[in-house]
Structures are given as C-alpha cells and as structure tokens.
Amino acid sequence: MKSKLLLNTEAIRLRKQFGQDTFSPMDIFALISSQDDITLIFYAMSQELSGMCIKDHDNKFIALNSKMSLGRQRFTAAHELYHLFFHDLTGSTLCSMNIDFADSKEIEANTFASYFLMPHEALDMYVRNHLKKEDEKLKLEDVVRIEQHFGMSRQAVLWRLIGEGYLHAAETAEMEKNIIQSARRLGFDKRLYLPLKEEAQYNTLGGYIKKVEKALQEGRITESKYEEMMLDAFRDDIVYGLDEEGEELYD
C-alpha cells in the first residue's frame, strides 16, 4: 500500500493539474464539473454506498449518494477521483460508506481524498497560523473550524486528526455528538452536515451535459433526442426552463 507521504504528493499534484494551489479550500463539485471528460451525477443510493465511478475509454463518471451529508459527498467525490486517476480502472467501482474499509485500494482512496481536500501542508498551516496552536491539543471548537474551512464531514476530519496525531481516539467520543449544534454555536451554517434537499438529490453536471449540448448545436441529434437525453440526466430544468427559487441578480 502507498505511503501517506506519496498519497499527499499525488493529491497536491492532481490539485495543481486542476489549477488549484496547495493551501486553499476548493469547490470540488465545480472543479469536477469544469472538466470536459468527467460527468458528476448526484443520485439517492442505498445507505451502504457512498458512491461509485466508471471509466469508459476517454469518459469518466462519478456518482455520489445524495442522501449523504454535503461534507461526506465532497469527500466521496475526492475518493472517486483517486480511483479514476491513480488506479488501473476498467468498468465501475462501488465504494462503501465505511471510511475504515479494510481493502487496501479503498484505504488509499480515502487517505488521498483527505489530502486532496486538506493537504498535509494546508492543515499544518491552518492549525499554526489560524488556530494558533503549537503543541496544545485541539478542542471541539478547533475541529469545527477545520471542517468548515476545508468542507469536510466530522467523521473525515476526526479520522484525519487522529491519524496525524493531533488527537487521540479516546478524546473524540464527545466530538462525534451534537455535530450541528456545535457548528451553530460558532456561527456556522448547518448545510455541511445535511444531505441535499430532496428536489436536488437527482442531478447531472459536467461532461455529459456539455457533450449533449454540443451534439445539438452541431446538428448530430434532434431537438427531441436532446430533450430525451437531458431528461435521462435529471435535467428537466434545462428542458422546461424551470425557474429556481428567487430572482436572478446581475451583481
């Protein structure tokens, strides 16, 4: 199995390939959606699955379980990127909800995902420069600030902090409780800890949408076929021009 040092290096390398620096938090959904060869699918799956990925020649697909919390979906998206870019993947791979999954490839993908969202150097700088902690143990307030800054679930953050020696497992039991309340008390929004709203749990972004749009513009498919393909991708908002809540602002 690959070392943590190598997985951190690979995570930083892929971040840079996508135009990201080592230290900044990222909007991983926007990042993936901007890639012409990756399609991102949100789909309500069974509670045992966190997501899956498919590699078909030059096309890559990532599907996320939209019933998971937003933080966990972001982690799973990074996990699936590892399978697509660093494993000799043919066909599809299903991924479990269990972060401590025993399979070596899954452990590698989880470790990579943690480093992709929060590189070792970025975590170290945040703890030292923002939390002003040196040898002092991290507290619940610090954990909340870390997960909010990097957009990760409580489970994923605690797993990482224990792994890097910032916390001991025995110290984290109380931190696993009342997660939303602990964030609210520090002035943070609760969205990171909740699944997508029911009306947003089925959606497709990225490569597939771009290719269908291009096929229509080039006359390779009819308008009716275009609508059929968009509806298959849960994009009735495009087909029917459905308005989102609120009014568009040009500001």
pLDDT digits (tens, 9 = 90+) for 13-46: 999 999 999 999 999 999 999 999 999 999 999 9
Rounded mean pLDDT, 43-50 = 92
| pLDDT tens per residue across span 154-191 | 999 999 999 999 999 999 999 999 999 999 999 999 99
Rounded mean pLDDT, 70-81 = 96
Gap between the Cα atoms of 177 and 172, Å rounded: 9
- CA neighbor of 144 nearest in space, from 116, 172, 109, 111: 172
User: Collapsing DSSP states into helix, strand and coil, what is residue 146?
Assistant: helix
Query: pTM of the full predicted structure?
Result: 0.92
The confidence score (pLDDT) of residue 88 equals: 77
2-5, long-range: CB within 8 Å, 24+ apart, which pairs? 2/108, 4/111, 4/115, 4/120, 4/163
